[in-house]
């Protein structure tokens, strides 16, 4: 890599710090929740390999992600396959791998039955959150019993229930988690006799990452502690209520593990005055920083300096290619290297080719501090419990 902007710089040590923080919380529980990294957030092979070394499972939503997870070394029993679009090829490959399939519709159920052949099938059902807007995710509560009956008639037992949903673009609120607890409890009730085979409750993702510039493992632990406590406590309670002593929990952290592990490096290529303000044009924008509403980072100018306010725009011919106004560390000018922090989640995975070729991806050497600007310091549980 030659350091030509734009490029992403990934810090795998930060992924490890987040994973260690979670592990330190899990170690307090005898039957701790399984952590399944949400690959869609950042499916880079080295990120997947890093979370695997910390004993995590993985959650995938496509054939590409399934292939990446398998290539990274995840065994099938440590893979969960979610998603509203499961083509036949994905269903077959997931069953061949021994992955857990969370089915989300009657169509998916019928296709899984038709394609199963003589394979063993590890199957869960995803539940729609009651009262949520129109959604393509999951089955309504009232349809769980018929769905379970159809699978049982085909010789397939329900090993788990899955729910997910968040009111916030960057994570779940306390109320979100409570709604999930209520929905999973109702899901077990609606399953009737079929709930006797359930071994895991998958609570989805949404643990909010620490709102700090450079969090350490202890900061990640503190940020995850209350969610893990609630999930463990409620899973134990539901297991006791319904006579399921082996019931375990699954969580799907994604952003939590990678948000702080990536920076987007750009160059200010122009500056224009418009409507009484100065607008700095960067060589990266909406095409690389997907989901502005969920980006919580800040701007750092090469050379640093005191915080100030500045306005930035991307390079595309789209009026909406305006970056959020945030504090800027330093004085931007044409030619300045501008680093966007907390860009490790979703943005690399969501890159499009509207304006850019594929951006470079570089890695911070072990033990190095994240540079504010330049290129001189870089090297290139079973899911069901």
Contacts of residue 128, Cβ cutoff 8 Å, sequence gap at least 6: 135, 137, 138, 139, 140, 141
Residue 361's pLDDT is what? 85
Nearest to residue 267, comparing CAs of 339, 212, 317, 324? 339
- Among 95-104, 215-224, 324-333, the minimum mean pLDDT is found in 324-333
Is residue 114 included in any domain, yes or no?
yes
The CA distance from 93 to 89, in Å, is 6
> Which of residues 258, 291, 312 is at a domain's end?
258
Q: Is the omega angle on the peptide bond into residue 167 within 30 degrees of 0, that is, cis? A: no
Indicate the pLDDT class of residue 132, thresholds 50, 70 and 90: low
Is residue 1 included in any domain, yes or no?
no
Model pLDDT for residues 156-175, shown as the tens digit of each residue: 999 999 998 765 556 788 88
Are residues 236 and 279 located together in one domain of the fold?
A: no
> Which of residues 207, 239, 258 is at a domain's end?
258
Specify which residues 264 forms β-bridges with: 8, 340
Are residues 33 and 96 located together in one domain of the fold?
A: yes
Model pLDDT for residues 62-74, shown as the tens digit of each residue: 999 999 999 999 9
Are residues 238 and 299 located together in one domain of the fold?
A: no
Residue 333's pLDDT is what? 93
Q: By residue range, what is the domain housing residue 232?
A: 12-258
Are residues 191 and 102 located together in one domain of the fold?
A: yes
Is residue 299 included in any domain, yes or no?
yes
Are residues 165 and 284 located together in one domain of the fold?
A: no
Specify which residues 206 forms β-bridges with: none
Are residues 68 and 217 located together in one domain of the fold?
A: yes
Residue 39's pLDDT is what? 97
Domain count, the chain: 2
CATH number of the domain where residue 348 is located: 2.40.37.10
Is residue 332 included in any domain, yes or no?
yes
384 secondary structure, DSSP code: T
- Secondary structure of 195-243 as H, E, C letters: HHHCCEEECCCCCCCCCCCCCCHHHHHHHHHHHHHHHHHHHHHHHHHCC
Under DSSP, is residue 10 helix (H, G, I), strand (E, B) or coil?
Answer: strand
Model pLDDT for residues 45-58, shown as the tens digit of each residue: 999 999 999 999 99
Are residues 145 and 98 located together in one domain of the fold?
A: yes
Residue 288's pLDDT is what? 75
Residue 305's pLDDT is what? 87
> Which of residues 219, 243, 258 is at a domain's end?
258
Are residues 137 and 236 located together in one domain of the fold?
A: yes
């Amino acid at each position: 890599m030659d350091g030509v902007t734009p490029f992403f710089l990934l810090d795998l040590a930060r992924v490890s710090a987040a994973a260690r923080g979670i592990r330190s919380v899990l170690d307090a529980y005898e039957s701790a929740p399984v952590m399944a990294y949400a690959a869609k957030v950042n499916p880079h092979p080295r990120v997947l390999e890093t979370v695997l070394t910390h004993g995590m499972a993985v959650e995938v939503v496509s054939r590409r992600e399934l292939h990446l997870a398998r290539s990274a070394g995840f065994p099938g029993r440590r893979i969960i396959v979610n998603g509203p679009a499961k083509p036949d090829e994905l269903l077959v490959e997931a069953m061949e791998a021994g992955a857990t399939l969370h089915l989300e519709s009657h169509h998916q159920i019928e296709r899984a039955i038709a394609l199963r052949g003589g394979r063993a099938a590890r199957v869960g059902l995803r539940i729609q959150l009651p009262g949520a807007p129109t959604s393509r995710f999951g089955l309504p509560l009232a349809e769980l019993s018929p769905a379970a009956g159809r699978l049982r008639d085909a010789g397939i037992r329900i090993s788990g229930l899955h729910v997910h949903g968040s009111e916030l673009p960057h994570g779940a609120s306390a109320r979100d988690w409570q709604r999930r607890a209520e929905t999973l409890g109702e899901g077990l009730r609606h399953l009737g006799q079929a709930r006797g085979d359930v071994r895991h409750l998958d609570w989805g993702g949404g643990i909010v990452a620490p709102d700090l510039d450079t969090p350490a493992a202890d900061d990640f632990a503190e940020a995850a502690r209350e969610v893990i406590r609630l999930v463990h406590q409620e899973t134990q309670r539901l297991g006791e209520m319904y006579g399921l002593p082996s019931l375990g929990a699954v969580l799907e952290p994604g952003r939590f593990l990678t948000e702080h592990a990536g920076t987007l490096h750009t160059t200010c290529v122009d500056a224009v005055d418009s409507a009484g303000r100065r607008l700095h044009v960067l060589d990266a924008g909406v095409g690389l920083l997907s989901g502005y509403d969920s980006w919580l980072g800040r701007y750092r100018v090469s050379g640093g300096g005191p915080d100030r306010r500045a306005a930035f725009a991307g390079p595309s011919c789209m009026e909406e290619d305006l970056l959020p106004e945030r504090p800027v560390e330093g004085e931007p000018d044409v030619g300045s290297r501008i680093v966007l922090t907390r860009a490790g989640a979703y943005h690399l995975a969501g890159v499009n080719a509207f304006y850019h070729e594929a951006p470079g991806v570089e890695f911070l050497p072990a033990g190095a501090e994240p540079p504010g600007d330049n290129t001189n310091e870089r090297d290139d549980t079973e899911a069901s419990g």
